[in-house]
Amino acid sequence: MSLSYRQPGVVLTDRHFTVPLDHADPDGETIELYAREVVASDKAGQELPWMLYLQGGPGFGANRFVGRQAWLGRALEEYRVLLLDQRGTGRSTPATRQTLPLRGGPAEQADHLARFRADSIVRDCEAIRTQVTGGAPWTVLGQSFGGFCTVTYLSLAPEGIDTAIVTGGLPSLHAHADDVYRAAYPRVERKVAAHYACYPQDVERARRIADHLLGHDVVLPGGYRLTVEAFQSLGLMLGASDGSHRLHHLLEDAFVRTTAGLELSDAFQEQARVLLSYAGHPLYALVHESIYGQDARPTAWAAERVRAEFPQFDAAKALAGDAPVLFTGETVHPWMFDTDPALRPLRETAELLAARTDWGPLYDPARLAANEVPAAAAVYHDDMYVDTAHSLETAAAIRGLRPWVTNEYEHDGLRAGAPHVLDRLLALARDEA
């Protein structure tokens, strides 16, 4: 039974769907999907076209907006919007350290999680579309990994899409995970350099924190072990529009003087715990590299292996000289399954996923080359999370897709630049700009 309720300016309806766990076995086991339908209050009784929103990640539930926040206000001018919690996220059937043991041991868990990639997400969308729209195609808005899913959608079921809008999420159609991270580390280094240019005082602050962590075993509230590598991974923040400023504020009061000498403050430790813990989105860590797996080559902890090719990211070596400590970006490493109590029970499962060699293709280049769906994409110049060159190559490979390349926004431009970003992309897809 659907439940409707109100927030300022909108009517919300909770929607629940049952879909096959494995779409190749439609009569087999099922899982539940949750989505939140949103419509403007003054249009609640009208027949409107639908927009499906696919969240970034992988492993995150859809945005929990209040009213018409961010890009949603622009979308609600003409659409009913469906905010989908992709399989395993949010209020959909969860996949966490608490629930995965229900599947069996690590091998069974890994087999289960292999069904949580973009191809399964797209088939979920097609399974629920007829229930939502009555069979009509819908506009699909994909942010980041949601954009990856949108390109998969155009590959597998373009008949389900009226218009495709991608923000910061045009993937390479062919690159292996190794290629993705070889392109990523130099981008991350540029973002770190830009941060230190803006906040030169943070060079010494980061060195002090890293030096302290190399000499002390720091366990955060809740049991997270704050290693120097974990500290460096806070650089994930630098890909967002306000990330450099938030990182600066985190670093500026990291230490407090105690009877035992200087220690990391409780305030710093708590903020670091919130930023680093995967308790709310463990699926991200488990399947992140698998989104780049498309053939018999294992991903094999690509980010960790490729990092060794960039010794400037070694904090100990930086501290041995006068080089700045470099932060890292959107990367998942095996040590995370030791430091984070939300991931520790899943270490063997993660190892099996990293070793897997039966990944199927996620994109159909021939079908994309013949695309007939109106499409537009925002490509953020020097996006820390998605390589610009890879995105432009894919934009050229999708027939009719109109890219908008801009340095006005970071990866979160859809949020930070609303309603301008969505408005421009809709105009591009409609040949109105």
Could you read off the pLDDT of 218-248 as tens digits, one per residue?
999 999 999 999 999 999 999 999 999 999 9
Q: Mind giving me the DSSP string for 337-399?
A: HHH-TTTGGGHHHHHHHHH---PPP---HHHHHT--S-EEEEEETT-SSS-HHHHHHHHHHST
Instruction: Residue count of the chain, please give it.
Output: 433
The dihedrals phi and psi of 157, each to the nearest 5 degrees, come to -150, 60
Reply yes or no on whether 411 is catalytic.
yes
Encode burial over 230-240: b for 16+ CB neighbours within 10 A, e otherwise. Answer: bbbbbbbbbbb
What pLDDT sits at residue 1? 59
Coil, strand, or helix at residue 101? helix
Helix-helix angle 243-251:177-198, to 10 degrees: 60
Give 289-319 pLDDT, tens digit per residue: 999 999 999 999 999 999 999 999 999 999 9
Which 8-state DSSP code applies to residue 28? S
Q: Which amino acid is at 58?
A: P
What pLDDT sits at residue 244? 98
């953020």: which residue's tokens?
380
**Residue (of 127, 152, 153) closest to 139 by Cα position:** 153
For CA atoms 406, 407, 409, 413, the dihedral sign is positive
- Rg (the chain; Cα; Å): 22
What pLDDT sits at residue 399? 98
Reply yes or no on whether 358 is catalytic.
yes
What pLDDT sits at residue 2? 77
With a CB cutoff of 8 Å and minimum separation 6, the contacts of 276 are 220, 224, 226, 230, 233, 234, 339, 340
Selecting among 144, 277, 290, 391, the annotated active-site residue is 144
Beta strands in 71-227 (DSSP E): 80-85, 138-143, 161-167
With a CB cutoff of 8 Å and minimum separation 6, the contacts of 310 are 185, 186, 189
Give 113-143 pLDDT, tens digit per residue: 999 999 999 999 999 999 999 999 999 999 9
- Joined together, the tokens standing for residue 391 give 């995105």
Superfamily of domain 3-173+363-429: Alpha/Beta hydrolase fold, catalytic domain (3.40.50.1820)
Distances in Å between the Cα of 391 and the Cα atoms of 263, 402, 406 are 44, 12, 13
Low-confidence stretches of the chain (pLDDT beneath 70): 1
Domain ranges of the chain: 3-173+363-429, 177-355
Distance of CA 411 to the CA centre of its chain: 10
What pLDDT sits at residue 5? 93
- Joined together, the tokens standing for residue 159 give 């008949």
Helix-helix angle 177-198:201-215, to 10 degrees: 120
pTM over 0.85: yes
Selecting among 281, 288, 390, 411, the annotated active-site residue is 411
Q: Mind giving me the DSSP string for 169-185?
A: ----SS--HHHHHHHHH
What pLDDT sits at residue 433? 85
